[in-house]
A and B are shown apart, each in its own frame.
Chain A
């Protein structure tokens, strides 16, 4: 745990919500993909976002990360409205991973993580050519912290491997390390266990717990119910672009509407609501 405390800032400005979405609605032409969804992520909690295919999870996720600008509603990160540029969102303290792994394949694992850290260092291009002492110190720190993060996710020995040659599960963990390198307050994971075997899934769970314990809030989108119910403090179930149920895993798991949405009658409901 010590490695984590050094690596990820644990200070929070206050105890307000890390992320707060209110009345988020996203329309594409005549289609309402997300309809009046609200969500609050508190410091140090793991929140799960579930729902059957086409429920609007990914669209909502994209609204949260600033990829889409919602038609209505607002998203606030640490009390401030989400800035318009993706880079500014990262600087404001939100980091994410991708459903389809998007690493820099021709760079080493260490370099991938270092790229994530650069937005937190201040050296300009010119100083890196002139190689001032400040630059060298920053560069050394960047490298050391990137290595710490790799060790934190269990890839300490793979730092010099090219990202594209790494096993699938390792690539997923590397993406998490790269996201953590931006020093987020909130980490969004888009299907972190897609394509993983049960052992890798268990490792992913452990990793997410350790990230949470280091003081971050985490939002997870996932299909794997067992994974979500074991992992999350709270679960939000989206159906047809609306919040169906929100509550503890126990509450959501036993809610008949959730079971119905997933197993039976979903098709009929969709037609009825549309």
Chain B
């Protein structure tokens, strides 16, 4: 029982991380039907943004009050990269065949990784991520279940971000604009909605959550490296598809389901196929199973009914 709870806690932590990144895939897909494969790198840039903020301003400090400023640094870095990426790489390709922006996305992904590797000091190997009071440090323990402090931060960050995002989409004019554009871009344009701005906002929103995920990942692993976005991005994409691409709640559910499934596979599949070596195999096997039996994802893709 304790084992099960322990794996659930691990799974929810990992899943929250996936969910935070997955939202970025799904929001952008919902608006422009583009899989932004460079989104994993936006997450990585967020982690490095937080690290750079700390290194430049607070080197040696571990006080909790630096965390919000690190998050701000992460958000600024990620959002800037995402918005610039949209402007110079995706907008010129709007209306091009869908393969073109997809290949561009892969190109940007590689370019961003290389840029960080070459230009961030010491990024050729893993860089230690600052440890902050309260959110890192000795693990908490509840009835034999160990909970990392950073895990509490990660899950809390997901809950807050998801609530904020839900409110934003349903209760602000920009959110309504996003819904309108995701249903019918041309009609939205003819009703005076600034579609280009809505698309930029979608990229920025996704980058915002990815930046928070980047900080969370840094705190959890205590280090960052320029490749961290690749697998995390792929997993988050899996989570988005699992939940139903284009559907924001789906991304959250998909992320949590994927994280828990992975953790349970690590903990309970016996023998040779268990343990962490096989966890990625099980994660992608789950994706294949869902795609075969429920291609629209757990909650269903947001497909517009045209009556």
A binding-site residues for B, Cβ under 8 Å = 65, 86-87, 90-91, 95-96, 98, 101-107, 111-112, 114-116, 118-121, 123, 125, 128-129, 139, 142, 164, 171, 178-179, 182
Residues A118 and B179 in contact in the complex (CB < 8 Å), given A102-B184, A104-B184: no
Give the contacts of B171-197 with A (CB-CB under 8 A).
172-174, 176-177, 179-180, 183-184, 186-195, 197
Do B183 and A125 touch (CB < 8 A)?
A: no
Measured between beta carbons, the chain A residues less than 8 angstroms from B283 are none
Beta-carbon nearest neighbor of A66 in chain B: B190
Q: If A90-B190, A142-B173 touch, does A125 touch B201 (CB 8 Å cutoff)? A: yes
Task: Name the residue on A nearest B196 (C-beta).
Answer: A87
DSSP majority for the B interface?
helix
Minimum C-beta distance from A243 to chain B (A): 26
Interface residues on B, range: 20 to 34
A201 to chain B, nearest CB (A): 20
Query: B179–A111 contact, CB under 8 A?
Result: yes
- Interface centre among B191, B194, B195, by most chain A C-beta atoms within 10 angstroms, is B191
State the CA gap A259–B247 with chains docked (Å).
Answer: 54
> Does B302 reach chain A (CB closer than 8 Å)?
yes
In the complex, what distance in Å separates the CA atom of A98 from the CA atom of B190? 10
B176 contacts A115, C-beta separation under 8 Å:
yes
Does the CB pair A182–B187 fall under 8 Å?
A: no
Q: Is B168's CB under 8 angstroms from A129's CB?
A: yes
Q: List 13 A-B contacts (CB under 8 A).
A: A86-B190, A87-B194, A101-B307, A104-B184, A104-B188, A105-B183, A106-B305, A107-B176, A107-B180, A115-B176, A116-B192, A119-B191, A125-B197
B54 → A minimal CB distance (Å): 25
Given A105-B307, A128-B173, A164-B305, check contact A118 B193 (CB 8 Å): yes
Chain B 264-307 interface mask (CB, 8 Å, partner A; 1/0): 00000000000000000000000000000000000000101111
Distance, CA A171 to CA B188, complexed state (A): 16
- B187 nearest CB neighbor, chain A only: A102
With A125-B197, A128-B174, A139-B173 as known contacts, state yes or no: A105 contacts B304, CB within 8 Å: yes
Residues in A whose Cβ lies below 8 Å from that of B189: 86-87
The answer to whether A87 and B307 touch across the interface, beta carbons within 8 angstroms, is: no
For A178, list chain B residues within 8 Å (CB): 191
Contact of A128 among B172, B184, B187, B188 (CB under 8 A): B172
The answer to whether A121 touches B190 (Cβ under 8 A) is: no
Contacts of B188 in A (CB 8 A): 104, 115
Q: Across the interface, do A118 and B183 meet the contact criterion of CB distance under 8 Å? A: no
A107 touches which of B183, B192, B307 (Cβ 8 Å): B183
Contacts of B176 in A (CB 8 A): 107, 111, 114-115, 118
Task: Give every chain A residue within 8 A of B187 (Cβ-Cβ).
Answer: 98, 102-104
